[in-house]
Amino acid sequence: MTKKISFLNLGLVFLGGIIVTLACLSMYIYFSYGSGLYVRVDMEQFLPQINQIVVDVTKEQLPNHIDKAKDDIPIIIDEHMSGQISEAFVTVGDIKVDLPEEMIDSMEQNFKDNVEYAMLQLLLNIDEDELAKSISSDIEATAELMLTQHFKEHKIHLKPNSFFTIPVTLMFEEDEDLVPAMNLDFD
């Protein structure tokens, strides 16, 4: 007399085997590597890629921002500089002669035009490549500092399912006492 094996029973046995295997693997990783996995991140490959991405994005978006600023300059200058000259006069000896309103308006407009011209020349003379490189190197330095300081002793807990957690520690510098389980390369 043979007993039939149902697919449900076979599936449960298979699932149980997977769970036991994952539990054993998690315990092996946890105990073999002290307190979880150590993953070494190669900053010499990672940071230049961040730098290049920032340079590319900045070169792409900077002209749009400069064009928007060019459009906004006349409006901003008009808002902040209109009505600044309320009276003007010329003194000849002991005689003070008030200038007519039209001349005051003309002087104010001339002043606003000169400021607008200077601001536009400033924007036109921006070296977009140099600015993009400067911004990207600042971001690269900040990213390196943030990654090495924030994640130095910080553990990331990977949860392959609701029962198991694998602690992962990122390594950014060579540490002779720790052997990384893997190296992350960014090619």
Is 140 exposed, middle or buried, given 0-12, 13-18 or 19+ CB atoms closer than 10 A? buried
pLDDT of residue 115: 92
pLDDT of residue 41: 75
Instruction: Name the residue with higher pLDDT: 117 or 150.
Output: 117
Question: Model confidence at 119, in pLDDT bands (50, 70, 90)?
Answer: very high
Phi, psi of 61 (to 5 degrees): -95, -25
d(CA 88, CA 100): 8
Residues 56-86 pLDDT 10s: 988 899 899 999 999 999 999 888 888 888 8
Range in 37-41, 131-135, 145-149, 171-175 with the lowest mean pLDDT: 171-175
Question: Model confidence at 180, in pLDDT bands (50, 70, 90)?
Answer: low
Tell me which range, 118-122, 165-169, 173-177, is most confidently predicted by mean pLDDT. Answer: 118-122
Contact 88, 107 (CB under 8 A): yes
Domain ranges of the chain: 33-184
